[in-house]
Amino acid sequence: MLKPSVLFVSSEVYPFAKSGGLADIAHSLPRALSKDCNIEVIMPLYSFVNRKTYNIVPANESFNISMNGIVYPVELYKCLFEGMSYRFIYSSLLCDRDFLYGPPDSGYEDNALRFALFSRVIIRVLKENSYDVVHLNDWQCGLVPLLIKEDKSINTKTLFTIHNLSYQGVFDYEVLQTLGIDSKYFTMECLEFYGRVNFIKAAIADADMVTTVSPSYAKEILTPEFGCGLEGFLSHHQEKLVGIINGIDTEHFSPSKDKRLEKPYSDLKAKATNKSAYIKATKLKGVRKPLFVFIGRFAWQKGMDLLIEALPIIASYECNIAILGDGEEKYHMALREIAKENSNVHLSFAYDESLSHRMYASADFLLMPSLFEPCGLSQIIAMAYGEVPIVHRVGGLSDTVKDYNDFDAKKAKGFGITFDKPSVDAFLKAIDEAMKLYENKSIYNKIAKHNMACDFSWQESAMSYLNLYEKISKKENL
């Protein structure tokens, strides 16, 4: 059978530009699929992307996109990086910014226009090339299925992946005209959402298939608690919704090959060298004490309020805590206050890929009290680096981390400490369990060692995507 040809569209791709897990997926999933598909990845060429480092060169294709009578010049670029073919879209409106979507506390005011332009360029690329499937990710390219429906000349099938339903791309009604979109699509069946325009809703309406990043999250988003107002709409389209768990790039996140580490390792004894180096570098005290780390965005979703409330109590235990992240200013302030009072709390306010690897390699436990979590990568990376994650049992966390009380060395799953309710009490109880588990070194080591040996690669999930590509490729146009 012929390999399907796929255009994989993402507003961020590691290592070119990354704000979170989406960039990791857009890096690792196409790679995992590349032996079974002819796959190309396309993203905006933000002005901060280093063209020289990655040898990004003009593709000698430039054209204009017009929306509502205004003309936006666009140039395409390309590069071959680590065997993968990447295409880039440069347009001043989309790319000449300091941030991907806006400063941490807000989005850019013209994001609707920026990403409508992104979607319109994708349409142009689909018209010029014949792909079987376009794999779209998140609201930034959410208009593509609607624009395909409008343009009868495109036969490409659409698969839309929801990485986080709480970011939907919702804008005032007035933007419709600026985007050059016919108001006939402003209906309950398509773009309309409480009187506003919703990009992700249009994608759910018109995509041939919708996936999200874990089976549990696929069920949760059908409920008012996690559906962010789209639970009814998603239930209506449930027959085309599938949850596929994310994997990680096991080359990039491999403790035995990781050049960023003090000492790459494949056993817990060698892992300890990394912990010692990190403890020394941060001037924390007590290499024998358990080291808890938190690595992630400082956002409500990540359970930051819970973490901040619990932190002074955790810090009163014989342990060290290291936090790496960036995000809302109120969380920076609260954390700073706590660290002032507690010398065993170390803060790094940054987005630092290398440091994150060193922290995964040094930590004994990862804290992940997320209120909701579509999939979550940090807990998977942590397990691959021989840590025991402490997670709220929700979404992808419950699919990827099994409770250590049910430990079974024969299971291919990773294990950690899980808690059911996102309350300070439940979280602290889990921390108490962690402290006890750490005392019981033989059991702790057994779990950490097991986690390190698990297969968190894309192998299985990439096959699920491939099956969907093949399934929708065969679908007749209505």
Report if residue 243 touches ligand ADP, rule: CB under 6 A. Answer: no
State how far Cα 135 lies from the chain centre: 15
Q: Least separation, in Å, of the C-beta of 18 and ligand ADP?
A: 7
Q: What is the C-alpha separation between 116 and 107, in angstroms, rounded?
A: 15
Q: In the complex with ligand ADP, which residue's Cβ is closer, 295 or 401?
A: 295
Answer yes or no whether residue 24 interacts with ligand ADP by CB under 6 A: yes
Output 363 or 430, the one with its CB closest to ligand ADP: 363
Q: Which residues contact 348 (CB under 8 A, 6 or more apart)?
A: 322, 323, 324, 325, 355
Q: Which of residues 385-414 bind ligand ADP (CB under 6 A)?
A: none
Q: How far is the CB of 388 from ligand ADP (least distance, A)?
A: 17
Query: 4 vs 414, which CB is nearer to ligand ADP?
Result: 414
What single string gives the DSSP state of each residue in 40-77?
EEEEE--TTS-TTTTT-EEEEEEEEEEETTEEEEEEEE
The residue at minimum Cβ distance from ligand ADP is 21
User: Is residue 227 part of the contact set for ligand ADP (CB under 6 A)?
Assistant: no
- Does residue 111 bind ligand ADP (CB under 6 A)? no
Query: What is the smallest separation between the CB atom of 209 and ligand ADP, expressed in angstroms?
Result: 22
| Other beta carbons less than 10 A from residue 237's beta carbon | 14
User: In the complex with ligand ADP, which residue's Cβ is closer, 197 or 368?
Assistant: 368
In the list 296, 303, 369, 386, the residue contacting ligand ADP (rule: CB under 6 A) is: 296
Q: Using CB under 6 A, which of 116, 154, 314, 324 touches ligand ADP?
A: 324
Contacting residue, 325, 369, 386, 416, with ligand ADP by CB under 6 A = 325
Within 10 angstroms of residue 435's Cβ, the number of other Cβ atoms is 16
Among residues 136, 204, 202, 152, the alpha carbon closest in space to that of 175 is found at: 202
Q: For residues 459 and 470, what is the distance between their CA atoms, to the nearest angstrom?
A: 17
CB of 109 to ligand ADP, least distance (A): 23
Q: Residue 320's closest CA among 294, 349, 285, 295?
A: 285
Three-state SS at 219: helix
β-bridge partners, 67: 70
Answer yes or no whether residue 255 interacts with ligand ADP by CB under 6 A.
Answer: no
Q: Is 295 in the site for ligand ADP (CB under 6 A)?
A: yes
Instruction: Tell me how far, at minimum, the Cβ of 23 lies from ligand ADP, in Å.
Output: 8
Strands 388-392 and 57-67: unpaired
| Contact code string over 331-360 relative to ligand ADP, x by CB under 6 A | --------------------xxx--x----
Place of tokens 């997670």: 391
- Least distance to ligand ADP from the beta carbon of 370, Å? 8
CB atoms < 10 A from the CB of 362, how many?
27
Q: Judged by CB, which is closer to ligand ADP: 126, or 381?
A: 381
Contact 324, 348 (CB under 8 A): yes
**Alpha-carbon gap, residue 238 to 228, rounded angstroms:** 16
Choice from 145, 376, 395, 416 touching ligand ADP (CB under 6 A):
376
Alpha-carbon distance of 29 to 154, in angstroms, equals 25
Residue 137 bridge partners (DSSP): 161
Q: Does 21 bind ligand ADP (CB under 6 A)?
A: yes
Could you give the CA distance from residue 11 to residue 338 in angstroms, rounded to a whole number?
35
Select from 3, 5, 15, 20 the one that contacts ligand ADP (CB under 6 A).
20
Q: Which is closer to ligand ADP, CB of 154 or CB of 368?
A: 368
The rounded distance, in Å, linking the Cα atoms of 439 and 462 is 39
Total residues at interface with ligand ADP (CB under 6 A): 18
Quick check: 247 binds ligand ADP (CB under 6 A)? Answer: no
328 contacts ligand ADP (rule: CB under 6 A): no
Match 């018109």 to its residue by tokens: 206
Cα–Cα dist 444/430, whole Å: 14
* Residue 410 labelled as part of a binding site: no
Shortest spacing between CB 395 and ligand ADP, in angstroms: 10
**Residue ranges at the known binding site:** 18
**Residue ranges at the known binding site for ADP-alpha-D-glucose:** 18
Q: Which residues bind ligand ADP (CB under 6 A)?
A: 20-21, 24, 295-297, 324-326, 351-353, 356, 375-378, 381
